[in-house]
Amino acid sequence: MIFEEKNINILLIEDEEFDVRRVKNTISPFSSRIKIVETFSNGKAAVEYLQSNKGEIDIVIMDYQIAGGLMGESLIQKIKEIDNTIQIIVITKMTVNISDYNFANKLIKAGAFWYCTKYPGDIEDYIYQPTDFLLSLFNAYEKSLLEKERFRSQLKLRRNVEDILFQKKIIGESPVMKELKEEINKFAKSNVNTLIRGASGTGKELVAYNIHYRSDRKYENFVIINCGSLPNQLVESELFGYEKGAFTGADKKKPGLFEIAHRGTIFLDEVTELPLSAQVKLLRVIQDGEIEKIGRTEKVKVDVRIIAATNRNIEEEVKEKRFREDLYYRLNVLPIYVPELKKRPTDIPLLIDYFLSNISIDMGRDKPEIPEETMKVFLNYDWPGNVRELKNVVQRILFHAESVVTPTLARRAIGVGELSQGQVDSNLADLFNPGSILPLKDFEKLIRERYFRFVRMNSNSDTEAARKLGLAPPNFYRMAKELGLKTTE
């Protein structure tokens, strides 16, 4: 790489004309490659130039004792703050002992690449030993190239992480969501195992993404496993891998997902679906940081942070002996709960706007308008499928390509529009189950709740719903509260 036809741009900081001439004489054999772009006689002027011309200088050659107040280690550190890829070579008078390791150590710690004395014996025309000085310039240039490439790679990685966090943004400004975001930032600073709990569709995977990509492991692998989708007979081979010849059909070595996640994070979604045999091995991974591969006698060391998630009552699973109690305690070190959408209704308009904006762009359609009466339909709905259901509803709305979303279209998208007689009968069928006969009081409450919800979905307001039901508004609100239904007026 030394002989590549690329100019090496140098900034010289030297306040003695005699020494400026000697530096130029020393590099003159390579004047076609090595260019002294600018020469400054004081440190402050050099710093100002570097700030205004970032990326143009590869190497700084500087006198240790320079005029202008800013000199030595302070000048080195200032240059490195401006551009950490610049390599600095310090030249100093012979009054400094060349075997003074403490002096050399201070320069290197400040950020210098190399240093030498100005006066090598009786040579007056050159700096130091000319060949050594020139080699140090070429080596410094090579290091500068490597530093720039490393900086570009790190910048690309940072941008990738930022892109992922933008795509996996958690939408919500309600108090419970602000608290959730604070917990995510707090948990991201730790390497401790985390258990995410919440109903289906609330965004547990989104939380796991945010914990990983805000942590120190963000540049390493984030491996997602849906434990419920793994066949029981393949769970261990998928999680921990196997060696070639371990069993019939194992014609090559297969790394397990824990190996792939080494130094990163593994997300075990639906962790309660793991069979007990796999739970035992998972417990060993957590305790010892080692995995047992099928067909291998020696254990493999892994460094993995585990984030698990479940929508089940995991304490009940432990009680029923379907989930190991010791594993539960190992995973539940930092518990985090993702609230249901019905518990944060103020976030519904924000989520609808977010999905409308993003999905309309993907579908190449204009973003439709959501009138206030239509938004009430969304706010009155309980969203049993949570954010996932809301996203699906937005997709259905955009499929119709209407410029304005009417309440009727909103109800149709949700699936609570006008019901046919067959649909009504189907909705009531579960109430006439011989194997689950309800007390009359509970039956009446369920009928009232379902009919209240149906009327509200087909009304533009609670006032209109009360009128349709033949109730005075105060009685309507009282009954809705008794039934556990929120009101909007």
Q: Residue 440: what pLDDT?
A: 81
**258 plus 327 within the same structural domain:** yes
**236 plus 350 within the same structural domain:** no
Range of the structural domain that residue 244 is part of: 168-339
**297 plus 427 within the same structural domain:** no
The CATH number for 376's domain is: 1.10.8.60
Asked whether the whole model's pTM tops 0.85, one would answer no
**218 plus 306 within the same structural domain:** yes
**143 plus 97 within the same structural domain:** yes
**187 plus 333 within the same structural domain:** yes
**225 plus 175 within the same structural domain:** yes
**319 plus 411 within the same structural domain:** no
**350 plus 466 within the same structural domain:** yes
Q: 311, 339, 367: which is the final residue of a domain?
A: 339
Beta bridge partners of 196: 309, 336
**65 plus 90 within the same structural domain:** yes
Query: Which residue from 8, 118, 137, 121 is spatially nearest to 66, judged by alpha carbons?
Result: 118
- Per-residue pLDDT 10s for the chain (489 aa) are 444 567 889 899 888 887 888 888 888 888 888 888 898 988 888 998 998 898 888 989 888 878 777 878 888 888 888 988 888 888 876 544 555 556 666 766 776 776 566 565 445 666 666 667 777 777 888 888 888 888 778 777 778 888 999 999 999 999 999 999 999 999 999 999 999 999 988 999 999 999 999 999 999 999 999 888 888 888 888 898 888 877 777 788 888 899 999 999 999 999 998 999 899 989 999 999 988 887 777 888 999 999 999 999 999 999 999 999 999 999 999 999 999 999 999 999 999 999 999 998 888 888 999 999 999 999 989 898 899 989 989 988 888 778 899 998 898 888 765 444 444 444 555 566 666 677 887 778 878 877 887 787 676 667 778 888 888 877 887 888 777 776 554
**113 plus 33 within the same structural domain:** yes
Q: Residue 424: what pLDDT?
A: 47
